[in-house]
Amino acid sequence: MSTTLEIQALSGFSNLDGLRLQLTFRNLGPDPVALPVPTDLSAALTVYAYRGTELTRVANGITHQDMMSRGRFDEATEREPVAAGLERSWELDLTSYAYPLLAGESSVFAECILGDGSVVRSNTIQVGVQALPVNRIALDRSNPVLDGVCVLLESVGTNGLERRLRLYNTARPLAPWFCEPLPALGADALVVATPNFFLPDTFDHFFARWLVAIDPGKVSALRLVSGRPSGQVREAPLPHGRRLLSAIQQPNDELLVFFLGPAGELECGDFSDAGLSLRFSLSPRTFTAPNLVIGGRADRLVIVTAEGGIERLDVDYQGTVLDHRRLFDTDLRTIDVRFDPVNDDVKASFWDGVQGQHLQLVLVRGGEPSVFYQERTESLRELLELSWDCDRAGEFHVVGNLPTGLFYWTRRVPPRLLLAGPGPRLPRVLAQRRPCIGLWDAERGYNFYEYRDGLRFREGPLP
């Protein structure tokens, strides 16, 4: 043959990581050949993965567009010439092109359509993929220039505790922009700082995050760019008796860190290159509730507690109280409480226990609570895990894990089985338009899947 294509796997050897390939194209013929450029977003270069005779993954520019956006596909191919006798090598990270490979052994090869319409096929490689559990997941939504969700995954691998950071498009969270392993920090606690600003002058700050970690005797912050350490580090002694709650990233890399003090007070600290200094402290009487979340809007901090209902305290960035309201009352116990700084939404869940009969989901949007109350019948009685979200129209989309499997329901749709079988799933729901459901599966790892009368487990546009 006058052209060859060779692939080699660089990483992606767990079902939590996207496959990364090294590709080398050689033009052995007498004439130039038009090769798709590395950034081409058509289907001219396609990677296939098989497990036995089953096609399990397809990755190309079209699947990338489909996994990342709801817009129309651009099928135009961008090519550049490779002169006779030369070769071209590049790396291809398939994290944003397809779901990770399934656990086990996969056969992987690539096909490339050249400018003259001929097809060159690569060698076939065998890729062994380890199944990794996920022990904890944390989500943070922000809109510094694009609306995105930062996802922190914790798992226990062969080297002990492993953490990975992903960044998704909130409206289409099927594939992340990146998935990167994090440094071994935060033996005691670790949070990702959430941006509180919107600056449309550049996209750079969308991919930048500060990682704040607590290790014995110290607090540290590491700046990440696309999930990778940038080399910018801050460190300070950890004040005695403080528990890390959260962190907020302001413009120009200003960093606010929040602690619960030894007497129950809420402390806000400035964490700069010079160290950690106290900005303000708020009385502990407001923060006795065990369920406490802190979010940052451009002009204020929002502190939400949920105990016997929902309470919201707004303060400015010097700690001055701007507003303090009781938003909702209930006699049920709290499951969780969240604050969405992009929409200024408060979301909280209440129930009467795993074997109870009542479930109350509350969305406070525009200051008014909307409640989805449900009598838990026999089929929903033993609720082991729960997640939900509201779409733009205010419809509740709920996912619950039961001993028999994972179920989805709304006010109008009765519970439908998504995935049979017992075990933890760590479900999460993102519902801007069509709901996307995040879940862990031993074979597939942790991913978000679009719900269309069932979960869509394959990447790429539907026929």
**253 SS3 class:** helix
**61 SS3 class:** helix
Q: What tokens appear for 159 in the block?
A: 């080297």
117 alpha-carbon distance from chain centroid: 39
Q: How many CB atoms lie within 10 A of CB 11?
A: 13
Strand extents, DSSP E, 170-254: 178-181, 189-192, 194-195, 208-215, 218-225, 228-237, 243-249
Gap between the Cα atoms of 30 and 435, Å rounded: 53
CATH for 3-129, options being 2.60.120.380, 3.40.50.300, 3.30.300.130, 2.60.40.2970: 2.60.40.2970
Burial group, residue 299, by CB count within 10 angstroms (0-12, 13-18, 19+): exposed
Residue-level pLDDT at 72: 86
Residues 227 and 165 sit within 8 Å (Cβ to Cβ)? yes
**462 SS3 class:** coil
Domain locations along the chain: 3-129, 132-288, 377-463
What is the length of the chain? 463
pLDDT tens by residue, the chain, 463 residues: 599 999 999 998 999 999 999 999 999 999 999 999 999 999 999 999 999 999 999 999 999 999 998 888 889 999 999 999 999 999 999 999 999 999 999 999 999 999 999 999 999 999 999 999 999 999 999 999 999 999 999 998 777 899 999 999 999 999 999 999 999 887 889 999 999 999 998 999 999 999 999 999 999 999 999 999 999 999 999 989 999 999 999 999 999 999 999 988 999 999 999 999 999 999 876 665 678 999 999 999 999 999 999 999 999 999 999 999 999 999 999 999 999 999 999 999 999 987 788 999 999 999 899 999 988 877 788 899 999 999 999 999 999 999 999 999 999 999 999 999 999 999 999 998 889 999 999 999 999 999 988 888 876 654 3
Q: Which of 351, 426, 363 lies closest to 396, judged by CA? A: 363
CA angle at 159 for the pair 153 and 160, rounded to the nearest 5°? 60
Please name the amino acid found at residue 445: G
Residue-level pLDDT at 375: 86
Taking CA atoms, 315 is separated from 180, 191, 241, 244, 278, in Å, by 35, 22, 24, 19, 16
**106 SS3 class:** strand
Gap between the Cα atoms of 289 and 271, Å rounded: 26
- pTM, two decimal places: 0.94
Q: CA dihedral in degrees (138, 228, 435, 455; nearest 10)?
A: -100
**114 SS3 class:** coil
Q: How many CB atoms lie within 10 A of CB 251?
A: 13
For 190-218, give one letter per residue: b (16+ CB within 10 A) or e.
Answer: bbbbbbbbeeeeeeebbbbbbbbbbbeee
Gap between the Cα atoms of 396 and 408, Å rounded: 11
